[in-house]
Amino acid sequence: MSDYNSMEFMICVAAGFMENGCSAVVGTGAPCAAAMLAQKTTAPDMLMLFEAGGIAPLLPTMPVSVGDSRTTWKALMASSMTETMSLTARGMIDYAFLGGAQIDKYGNLNSTMIGLDYKKPKVRLPGSGGANDLASNCWRTMVITPHEKRRFVEKVDFITSPGYLSGGNSRNEAGLPEGSGPYKIVTNLAIMGFDNPERRMEIESLSPGVTIDEVEENTGFELLVKPDVKKTPPPDGKMLKILREEVDPHGYIIGR
C-alpha cells in the first residue's frame, strides 16, 4: 500500500487542505476525488457544492459531470447554477477547485485558448464555464495539475480565471473581494502558495525525492522559494485504501 502514483499523491495532498466544516465548489475529475476523499477522512462535515446546483450531497460514487444525478444524492438542495453562483457572490464559499491549460506566476488560469489571436488560436479550449465566477468570488482557489513547463508559463495567453492578475494589490484594485485569490497549487513536484507581498507563486513544500532544481526546470518562470521549504509527506495507507476502494474503485481518475 506504500506505492502510489502521481495522481493519487496529488489527490491525497489536496484533500488534506480541506478543514472540517469548510465549503467547496468542485468540478469533476481530480478535484471531485479530493473532495470525496476529504469528506470520507479528515473533513466529514465539509459542504460540497457543484456548479449545476447540487448542494451538500453525499456522493455514492464518482460523478462524471457537474450535472450528474449523483451530485444531488442525499443533498440538502437540488437547485441550479444560479443558486451556486449566488452563494459564491455572497461570499459564502471557502474553496474553489479549478484547473486549466496554463497558469502563470500570479496564479492566473487559462482554459480558453492557446495562441495570441483570439479569432484564430492554435488551440481552442473549452472556456470558462463557471470558473471565472468561482476564481473571482470564492475565498481560496485550489489548483491540482501536473507540473510541466508548457503549463507553467510566464504569461497566460488568455486570463480565463483571475488569480492575482499582475501581482501586488492588483486583484483588489480590479474590484475583486479583498482576501480572496489563489491559495495552493498542488502538483506532482511541489506545493506552491502566494503568501508574499508580490503575490507571486512560491515553493512551500517539495514532493518526496524532488529537488528545487527539478521544480524550476519544469517551470517557465522564476519561482520564489520559501527559506524553510518543507517536504510533503507521502499519503498514508489508510487514505490510499479509501481513495482506491471507495472514491475511485474503477480507476477513472487515479488510473490516468
Catalytic residues, which ones? 51
Total Cβ atoms within 10 A of residue 77: 14
Q: What is the DSSP letter of 71?
A: G
Among 252, 248, 250, smallest CA distance to 12 is for 248
Contacts of 212 (CB under 8 A, 6+ apart): 203, 206, 225, 229
CA 127 to chain CA mean position, Å? 16
Compute the radius of gyration of the chain from its Cα atoms: 17
Over the range 10-47, which residues count as b (16 or more CB within 10 Å of their CB) and which as e?
bbbbbbbbbeeebbbbbbbbbbbbbbbbbbbbebeebb
Among 163, 167, 179, smallest CA distance to 107 is for 163
Total Cβ atoms within 10 A of residue 226: 14
